[in-house]
Amino acid sequence: MKSQKGTKLSYSFVGEPATETVRWFIEGVHKKMQEHGHEYHESPNDETGLIFNLVTAETARPYRRKSQSVFIVSILEGKIPQGHILETVYPHLLKNISNLLIYHAKNGGELHSYFVTPEQGYPRVILRDGNMEEYFENAYERIAPLACSRFVINNEFLPDLPDELAEGTEKTRQLYYAGRKLDEMDLLPTVIKIEQFLSEDALRQLWRLYRVGGLSYGNLSVRNDEQTFWMSASGVDKSNLQKVGEHIHLVKGYDKKKYAILVSIPKHIKRPNRVSVDAIEHWMIYTENPGVGAIIHAHCWVDDAATKLTGHTVAATKTSYPCGTVELGEDTASVIRNAPDPSRVVVCQKNHGIVITGKDLKDIFDRIDNGSIRIVKQIEMT
| Binding span for Zn ion by CB under 5 A among 44-52, 198-206, 331-339, 352-360 | 352-360
Shortest spacing between CB 55 and Zn ion, in angstroms: 26
With CB under 5 A as the contact rule, which of the stretches 31-39, 69-77, 203-211, 346-354 interacts with Zn ion? 346-354
Secondary structure letter of residue 343 according to DSSP: T
Q: Which CB sits closer to Zn ion, 214 or 353?
A: 353
- Which of these ranges, 132-140, 235-243, 249-257, 349-357, lies near Zn ion under the rule CB under 5 A? 349-357
CB of 24 to Zn ion, least distance (A): 33
Class of residue 321 by CB neighbours under 10 A (exposed 0-12, middle 13-18, buried 19+): buried
User: HEC string of 212-265?
Assistant: CCCCCCCEEEEECCCCCEEEEECCCCHHHCCCECCCEEEEEEEECCCCEEEEEC
Residues whose CB falls within 8 Å of the CB of residue 347, separated by 6 or more in sequence, listed in order: 314, 315, 316, 317, 332, 335, 336, 354, 355, 356
Site for Zn ion in 288-327 (CB under 5 A): 323
CB of 261 to Zn ion, least distance (A): 16
Q: How far is the CB of 106 from Zn ion (least distance, A)?
A: 31
Smaller CB separation from Zn ion, 248 or 296: 296
Cα separation, 138 vs 135, whole angstroms: 5
Contact 329, 281 (CB under 8 A): yes
Nearer to Zn ion, 370 or 378 (CB): 378
Q: Which of residues 321-340 bind Zn ion (CB under 5 A)?
A: 323
CA dihedral sign of residues 21, 27, 31, 34? positive
294 and 222 in contact (C-beta within 8 Å)?
yes
Nearer to Zn ion, 342 or 353 (CB): 353
Residue 73 or 296 having the CB closest to Zn ion: 296
Read off the DSSP letter of residue 194: G
Neighbours of 11 (CB within 10 A): 22
Radius of gyration of the chain (CA): 21
What single string gives the DSSP state of each residue in 28-78?
HHHHHHHHTTPEE-SS--TT--EEEEE--SS-------SSTT-EEEEEEE-
**Which CB atom, from 297 or from 344, has the smaller least distance to Zn ion?**
297
Q: How far is the CB of 328 from Zn ion (least distance, A)?
A: 9
Q: Which lies closer to Zn ion via its Cβ, residue 188 or residue 265? A: 188
Q: Binders of Zn ion: how many residues, by CB under 5 A?
A: 2
Which residues inside 98-137 make contact with Zn ion, applying CB under 5 A?
A: none
Q: In this chain, which stretch among 154-162, 241-249, 285-293, 353-361 interacts with Zn ion, using CB under 5 A?
A: 353-361
CB nearer to Zn ion: pick between 28 and 353: 353
Residues 361, 296 contacting (CB under 8 angstroms): yes
CB 77 → Zn ion: shortest distance, Å? 28
Q: Least distance (Å) from Zn ion to the CB of residue 296?
A: 11
Residues found near Zn ion in the complex (CB under 5 A): 323, 353
